[in-house]
Structure 1
């Protein structure tokens, strides 16, 4: 072996070995994922009482666990510390969880506004009542506007005549709602004594 070949082997042997290890990790992860998927399919065929609604999510969870573990192993082989990876991952998950809970009500109202517009449980001009309980009346009024967060109602009760009430859109899907298309609430007839 001459001097240049020896120098070339010394210079490139470590990257070639790492590349081979990375390739081996990816290949083994893919193979393990395929074997587990095939095993779950055979398990479902052998035991038909196992619902597909259980096997499909299980297959997806296993696939993500295997590929995530392989990704972590690849990064570790490339020189990234496992402690740094886990710290970054847990920090990201914690921030994502806090952000998700912080914007949950906003996202809920946005989605409910989309449902109100597309499904049309009521329209502008209708009179609606959000019922609290069977013995307690809720918010009533004529629908003036529907925006991304609130539905604005004109309060038609005697004590609140002329005031506007903004009801979060998600409330219309959490409570029972009465609707009058005529634009007027029915008057209650008092029985004569």
Structure 2
């Protein structure tokens, strides 16, 4: 059998030797093109979701980067496999990186929960910049109250008193808004203590 294969190789033209190099390069190019097309579709979807739900640009950019790492990382592993890198080596490297990633995920859990809660604040439209909100301690006890000045990836800034230059403000972790009862005043200012209904 080996003699037959060798005799067939001897009879092939000289350009046929390039097929061993050319076919994997074409496959790698197609894998790269497919990953690029997937990312184009993902970008269009994220733009549409951002417009529909009013997500901030930094949340959309963070999600886009996460998807890009997954898509391009998968394409890289697939391309290396097509170039002849051993599957066992790729699997060992992948599980090693996944283990390190899992440890980092648990180490940064509070930050990640705030990032996820930021996304939930925008998707559920719990409140928006300019609304007056109050986090209640328990039942009807007064809590932290102020006008929402900014919502970033980790904190929501509430203007507690005065104005933005000379007043006081609170920076609350976004996860706090999903752990307590939230009172929201739609438009206008919050009622004063005298205007508040008594139980």
Which TM class, normalised by the smaller chain length? 0.3 to 0.5
**Bigger-Rg structure (1/2):** 1
TM-score (norm 1): 0.45
